[in-house]
Amino acid sequence: MHYCLGVCVFLLAYNIVQGNWFLRETIHCVEAFNGETLVSTQKKNICLSYPYTCEPPVPTRYGSNECQRRYQLFYRWIHFIFLILSALYYTPRILAKGKDHQLRKLLTDLSARDENYDKASLQEGTRLALLYFKNHSFVHTPLYARMVFCHAYALVIDMATLFFFDFMLHNGFYGLVYTTYPWNRNPSNFNDSMSQHFPPYAFCTIDKYNLINNARVENYGCHLMLMELYEKVFIVIWFLLVVLIAVTMLSLLVLLFLCLPPFNRLLLHTCITSSYIREVKKEVLKISSVGDLFALSLMKRHMNERQYLKFLECLVQASENHLKEVLVESQHTDANIC
């Protein structure tokens, strides 16, 4: 769910914003003291990259004294950030797909045989599962560790995205939704919280340091036409990150608790139960590592409960028989030494 939501939402945000950059005008600038004079394309290109407003509570208007500039650097490049994040959110999926190939093949076979609904296919599936565990017991701990790492890595991505957006919006992303609710603008002077985070109007100054204006200083007033779209996109992203962080943290805590007794028995949970089944599960817990229990829980999704319980019973019997064989072989070895 994490990578699906992340990739889909950020790709959708990229396409929406990028499409608007192609289909409509993105900025309209005029000279500060002559509203009828339009700004040339070359200077407008600079204004796309470096529009600024005044730091609150100083209003962004002509004649404001002591205007400390707050540059809206994200306006021009945010859609490329969305594209990069969509690729970044897919990386946990790449890490998670690196599971054991033989286990993956077994799960595919079990799923295919479970769809046949005939006794012979189910028995063959149980036999294959027993054969697999006979040769691969106590080797699944890295699989479980990789799953925990993938969840931790996904949480790091969520938190890093949250910190980056907050930095980009001048410490305004953390409380974006509840500080700006009900998300209305004040069109008379644009002093509301939403307009401070996504200002529709901004200044642009080209001075002697830009080296293209013959050492003259010119001030422009600009209308950032996509800011109202940006605010809606970022509100959706805020809710997305809240959901992803909450679900990922909960999943990570569950995975960490499942490796500890008595929580590890939840990996063997079935709806069908009895005193005998509980005893079988206790024996399985004794002979299995946490990685094996995790592999068993994956297998449970591809088997019906009766087949799964029969498999657990056969697994315990196979383990007991193997232990007896080891003891007999050990006794023979000791006798030969004597």
**pLDDT given for residue 231 in this prediction:** 92
How much is the pTM? 0.84
3-state secondary structure 118-171: CHHHHHHHHHHHHHHHHHHCCCCHHHHHHHHHHHHHHHHHHHHHHHHHHHHCCC
CB 70 within 8 A of CB 170: yes
- Residue 334 pLDDT: 52
Give residue-wise pLDDT tens across range 177-214.
888 887 777 777 787 888 888 999 999 988 877 777 77
Instruction: For 96-111, write each residue's pLDDT tens digit.
Output: 876 567 777 877 777 7
Class of residue 321 by CB neighbours under 10 A (exposed 0-12, middle 13-18, buried 19+): exposed
Instruction: Say yes or no to pLDDT of 327 above 70.
Output: no
Out of 16-25, 95-104, 210-219, 286-295, least confident range? 95-104
d(CA 293, CA 144): 9
Q: What is the mean pLDDT of the segment spanning 156-168?
A: 96
Segment among 80-89, 93-102, 248-257, 269-278 with least mean pLDDT: 93-102
Q: Which of 33-37, 52-56, 321-325 has the lowest mean pLDDT?
A: 321-325
pLDDT for residue 217: 84
Report the C-alpha gap between 15 and 255 in whole angstroms: 35
Short-list 68, 72, 64, 73, CA closest to 54: 68
pLDDT bin (cut points 50, 70, 90) of residue 323 is low
Provide the pLDDT for residue 106.
78
pLDDT at res. 116: 62
- For residue 225, count CB atoms less than 10 angstroms from its CB and return exposed for 0-12, middle for 13-18, buried for 19 or more: middle
What pLDDT sits at residue 214? 75
Residue 336: pLDDT band (50, 70, 90) is: low
From the list 258, 255, 320, 315, the residue with the least C-alpha distance to 281 is 315
Residue 234 has pLDDT above 90, yes or no: yes
Q: Would the pLDDT of 337 be above 60?
A: no
Mean of per-residue pLDDT scores for the chain: 85
**pLDDT of res. 86:** 96
pLDDT tens digits, 53-76:
988 878 777 766 678 889 999 999
Write down the pLDDT at residue 143: 86
